[in-house]
Amino acid sequence: MIPSPDIQIFIGTSVLLLMALSIIFFVIYYQQKQLKKDLQQQKQIQELKNEMQRQLLESALEVQEVERVRIAKDLHDEVGAMLSVTKMSFNQLLRKLDNAEDLATMGKQTRELLEQSISQVRRISKELVPSTLEEFGLVSSVDEFINKVHLASSTSFVFSHEGIDIKQRFDKKIELTIYRLIQELVNNALKHAEAKEIKLKLTSENNKILFSFIDDGKGFDFETKRKDPKSGLGLRNMESRLSVINGSINIESIKGKGTKTLIEIPI
Amino acid sequence: MLLPILPIVLAIWKRTYKDAILKTLFIYLVIDLSCNLTEFILAFIGLYNIWLFNTFFLFEVIIFGIIYTQLLLSPTKRKFIVFCLIIATIIAVFDFKTLEISPFATAFDKVLMIVFVFLHFNTILSEMRIKNILLHPPFWISVGVIIYAAGSFSIDLFSNYIFNDSDETFLFFLNMRRIVNIIFLLILSVAIWVKKYNIIEEQP
């Protein structure tokens, strides 16, 4: 039985409307699906870029460390040795000049200068490569570093470590990064903040190393410093170093009330 | 009859008539409202108004043709739309009737409108420049156009049969077409409303 023309027109209109609605829903569905796919691809590309940048930075830091080792070795083995030999030779010369008093006084002064030069070369060599860090680990090297700074300045230090044994070792990269960050933070606290007291705390929990650094210095406006291309370099360097080991840094500073820095590094 | 007032008021309130595409849409809405009012006045004073229907349908497809040439940046697609509009004008001229609806010309206009929408949907899906399609005014224009064209195609094609059938059939299809028209204008209002949220991702 063929339906009447009225019904045929009605069915035709309904079918066309249904088809139109199906097309609309298909377009919405397909567009959203494609968009999600595109976003995912963009995310993957961004992740790859970040990883490449991280690896580049890691290589740059490695090269820097290798260069430091080379300079330290050259200073210690060559310049240091040459100075020691010069000192010995000079001592022999001094013994022969016992009679001439004026010459002897001048000679003694020169020997003191040589001794100072030797100790300076040793100090620079040691600072370039933290040998204590390599031999005894993070806690000992930090302890040694702050003791040295304390002797050279009037700033007092409070260093504590929770969940980390004095002989405990971590990945070389992590240890070196923390050590360099501490050097940078201490340097900033003394040079810019003029801090009187610095508190350092190393904690290890839930596969993470947490490090807090609190000083009672002048404080600063974090955002302004960060945007300043000159003074923000240190902060950006710290962030770059941490990005290599997937660490994060959080700095809170109030003008006149000091600065609190929290660092978190996954082990 | 006065429903085009809603998107017109919305367009004035949201100042969307400044946008090139929505400006053309605004012109269409004003023409639609003017034609509706003229048809009503002509019917009220007892004069034939069918010729105005036939003329309006041609204007309608030309205006939407302009909207889609503004939307589609591909020169081939633009040329194709212009070619279609020329054909539609020729058919409208040859099929023009003053005392009854020109079924072939009006139905052909609806087919063209559906083709334009397909071209637009194809562009949206191939270019992927729109972040959220539901906040993209041209998408809603296309949704309105495809529903309007699909919903009125059969009725327009068999309009002369419907006219000559019983009053009951005539009123049924007249109301059906009115509902399709109301949905169309409401969707165009959505297109105007979502203008402020529209986000297009710039091509690199």
- Enter the ipTM: 0.85
pTM more than 0.90: no
Cα–Cα distances (Å) from B99 to A192, B18, B105, B110, in that order, read 93, 39, 15, 21
Nearest alpha-carbon partner for A142 in A80, A83, A209: A209
Q: Rounded to 5, what percent of chain B is helix, strand, coil? A: 80, 0, 20
Most confident of A116-120, A263-267, B11-15, B140-144: B140-144
How many Å apart are CA A17 and CA B176, to the nearest integer? 12
Q: What is the pLDDT of residue A206?
A: 81
How many Å apart are CA A172 and CA A70, to the nearest integer? 18
Strand partners, A252: A260
pLDDT grade for B167, boundaries at 50, 70 and 90: confident
Q: Residue A261 carries which side chain, given as an amino acid letter?
A: T
Contact criterion met (CB below 8 Å) for A76 and A122: yes
Which residues on chain A are in Cβ contact (under 8 Å) with B158?
Answer: 5, 9
The interaxial angle of helices A138-152 and A172-191, nearest 10 deg, is: 20
Contact criterion met (CB below 8 Å) for B30 and B20: no
Mean pLDDT split into 10-residue runs, chain A, 267 residues: 76 91 93 88 90 80 80 78 80 73 76 82 77 84 87 85 84 87 87 86 88 88 73 76 86 86 89
* Planar angle of CA A84, A88, A89, nearest 5 degrees: 115
Which residues on chain B are in Cβ contact (under 8 Å) with A32?
Answer: 133
Query: Which residues does A contribute to its contact with B (CB < 8 Å)?
Result: 5-6, 9-10, 12-13, 16-17, 19-21, 23-24, 27-28, 30-32, 34-35, 38
Is a pLDDT exceeding 60 seen at residue B200?
no
Q: Residue B97 carries which side chain, given as an amino acid letter?
A: K
Residue of A nearest to B164 (CA): A6
Cβ of B154 within 8 Å of Cβ of A13? The answer is yes
How many Å apart are CA B4 and CA A267, to the nearest integer? 66
How many Å apart are CA A222 and CA A219, to the nearest integer? 9
Q: What is the pLDDT of residue B204?
A: 38
Q: What is the pLDDT of residue B202?
A: 42
Point out the residue among A12, A16, A27 whose CB comes nearest to the CB of B125.
A27
Q: What is the pLDDT of residue B2?
A: 65
Cβ of B147 within 8 Å of Cβ of A19? The answer is no
Strand partners, A156: A197
Q: What is the pLDDT of residue A26?
A: 93
pLDDT grade for B117, boundaries at 50, 70 and 90: very high
Nearest alpha-carbon partner for B4 in B181, B196, B195: B181
Cβ of A20 within 8 Å of Cβ of B169? The answer is no
Contact criterion met (CB below 8 Å) for A107 and A93: yes
Cβ of A16 within 8 Å of Cβ of B173? The answer is no
The mean pLDDT value of chain B amounts to 85
Cβ of B133 within 8 Å of Cβ of A24? The answer is no
Is a pLDDT exceeding 80 seen at residue B196?
no
Cβ of A32 within 8 Å of Cβ of B133? The answer is yes
* pLDDT per residue as tens digits for the range B65-88: 999 998 888 889 899 999 999 999
pLDDT grade for B139, boundaries at 50, 70 and 90: very high
Is B174 near chain A, with CB under 8 Å? no
Nearest alpha-carbon partner for B201 in B150, B125, B127, B147: B127
Point out the residue among B114, B150, B173 whose CB comes nearest to the CB of A9.
B173
Q: What is the pLDDT of residue B142?
A: 94
Interface-testing mutation among A27, A29, A41, A45, with chain B (most B C-beta atoms within 10 A)? A27
* pLDDT per residue as tens digits for the range B24-79: 888 888 888 888 888 889 888 888 888 888 888 888 889 999 999 988 888 898 99
Contact criterion met (CB below 8 Å) for A241 and A184: no
Is B199 near chain A, with CB under 8 Å? no
Which residues on chain B are in Cβ contact (under 8 Å) with A30?
Answer: 125
Q: Which residues contact A158 (CB under 8 A, 6 or more apart)?
A: A197, A198, A199, A200
Rg (C-alpha) for chain A, rounded Å, is 33
Among A205-209, B25-29, B95-99, B177-181, which stretch is predicted with the lowest mean pLDDT?
B95-99
Mean pLDDT of B11-30: 82
Which residues on chain B are in Cβ contact (under 8 Å) with A24?
Answer: 143, 146-147
Mean pLDDT of B125-139: 86
Give the percent of chain B with pLDDT over 90.
Answer: 25
Residues 17-56, chain B: which have Cβ within 8 Å of A? none
* pLDDT per residue as tens digits for the range B118-130: 999 999 888 888 8
**What is the helix (H) or strand (E) element at residue A261, kind and residue range?**
strand A258-266
